[in-house]
Structure 1
Amino acid sequence: MARIAYYRVSDTSQSVEAQRQALGGQFDREFADEGVSGAVQAADRKGFAELLSYVREGDTLYIYAIDRLGRDALDIQATIRRLIDKGVTVDVRGLGPIAKGVGELIVAVLAQVAEMERQRIRERCDAGRAAAKAALAATGKTHRGKASLGRPMAGDRATVQAWRSDNGASIAKTAAHFGLSLATIKRYCGPQ
């Protein structure tokens, strides 16, 4: 009977440490997915897929919150059911162990809330992009004062390509000359 923890953060700038500390236990095994959206089905995430292969009847899986399993209500419910059917106890911080029946009903409600929040995040992002596009069209700057919506262009592609061709330069030499990354030069000029 192993004590297992699972952590997930959506962005690589985030850390699972807050979840680890909040769960605060000594675990036999820990699994994590860092930089993976909750929109990705649980079984399709590397860390969670490894967890599913590892867990056995009698194990207890500890998670920080239902939304760490995902942001798709049906996937969360199917994942919890799969674990329970395997004989694994799912223990959610603040809720305790989830059992069949009432426990699954609570999970269903919380999973719907997680999915609703995902939709709200998407709506806020879409609204922000729309505002940025409108401001860019009207003023030449986004609503946050940036000159473009995406990553700013580093150097002029045509100039970089011409200089590399004229000088027979390698990708590394071209990158050094323009002060650009190797990835940018490869994107501009191809690997040649």
Structure 2
Amino acid sequence: MARIAYFRVSTRDQSVESQRHTLGGNFDREFSDNGVSGTVKAMERPGFKECAAYLRDGDTLSVYAVDRLGRDSIDVQTTVRDLRAKGVIVDVHGLGPIAGDAGELVLTLLAQLAQMEKNRIIARTEAGRQVAKASIAATGKTHRGKVSLGRPVEHDSKEIALWRKETGASIAQTAEKFAVSTATVKRACKA
């Protein structure tokens, strides 16, 4: 009967340390997914998939919050039911072990709240994108002063294509000259 922890953070610049600290550490084994959104189904995340395969009857899986398991209500409920059917105790910080009908009810409500938050994040992101598009159309810059919605352009495609054509350089040589990837050179030369 092992104590197992699962941690998940959505971006690579985040750390699981606060989750580890809150759960108290001293686990027999830890699994994590770094830079993986909660919108990705649990069994499609490499860390969780490995965790689920490792868990045995009688083990306790500790998670910081229901939304660390996921932000899709059905996926979270299915994941927890599958683990419980395997004999795994799912212990959510602040809730305790998910057991019986009352535990299932609480889990269902929290999973639905996690999904609702996911939907709110999507709506806020889209609203921000629309404001930025309108600002670009009106002023040439976003409401935050950027010139585009995507990553800033760090190279001139026309310059790359022209230099390659004039010098007869290979894709690799051109990539090295401009400090860009070979894919960037290929895109520049197709344009």
Q: Is the structural similarity TM-score above 0.5? A: yes
Segments of 5+ residues of structure 1 without an aligned counterpart are: none
Kindly report structure 1 stretches of 4+ aligned residues shifted beyond 2 Å: 168-178, 180-190
Give the equivalent residue in structure 2 for 1:26: 26
Tell me the secondary structure at the aligned position of residue 36 of structure 1: coil
Cα distance between partner residues in 2 of 1:189 and 1:31: 44
Is residue 101 from structure 1 mapped to residue 101 from structure 2 by the alignment?
yes
In the other structure, the counterpart of 1:91 is 91
Q: Secondary structure at the match of 2:115?
A: helix
Quote the offset at 1:24 in angstroms: 1.4
Map of 1:118 onto structure 2: 118
Q: Does 1:144 align with 2:149?
A: no
Could you say what secondary structure the match of 1:38 adopts? coil
CA distance in 2, matches of 1:165, 1:176: 15
State the distance in 2 between where 1:154 and 1:47 align.
Answer: 34
Secondary structure, counterpart of 1:141 in structure 2 = coil
Confirm or deny that 1:153 pairs with 2:156.
no
Check the 8 A contact 1:171/1:182 in 2, yes or no.
no
Partner of 1:168: 168
- 1:182 maps onto 2:181 in alignment: yes
Higher mean alpha-carbon deviation, 92-101 vs 153-162, is at 153-162
Residues of 2 paired with 1:116 and 1:21: CA distance?
27
**Match of residue 11 from structure 1:** 11
3-state SS in 1 of match to 2:91: strand
The amino acid that maps onto 1:112 is: Q
Once the two structures are TM-superposed, the CA of residue 187 in structure 1 deviates from its matched residue by: 4.1
Question: Given that residues 4 and 59 in structure 1 are in contact (C-alpha distance below 8 angstroms), is that contact kept between their aligned partners in structure 2?
Answer: yes
**Structure 2: which 5+ residue stretches go unaligned?**
none
1:42 is matched with 42
**What code does the residue aligned with 1:94 have?**
G
User: Contact (CA 8 Å) 1:84, 1:100: kept in 2 or not?
Assistant: no
User: What is the CA deviation profile of residues 45-95 of structure 1, one whole-angstrom value per residue up to 9, with x for unaligned ones?
Assistant: 111111111100000000000000000001101111111111100111111
Match in the other structure for 2:59: 59
Structure 2 letter corresponding to 1:163? W
Task: Say what the alpha-carbon RMSD is for the aligned residues.
Answer: 1.5
SS in structure 2 opposite 1:106?
helix
Please state how far the C-alpha of 1:155 moved relative to its aligned partner: 2.3
Residue identity matched to 2:157:
R
Q: 1:189 to 1:28 in 2, by over 3 A?
A: farther
SS at match of 1:50: helix
User: 1:174 offset after TM fit, Å?
Assistant: 2.7
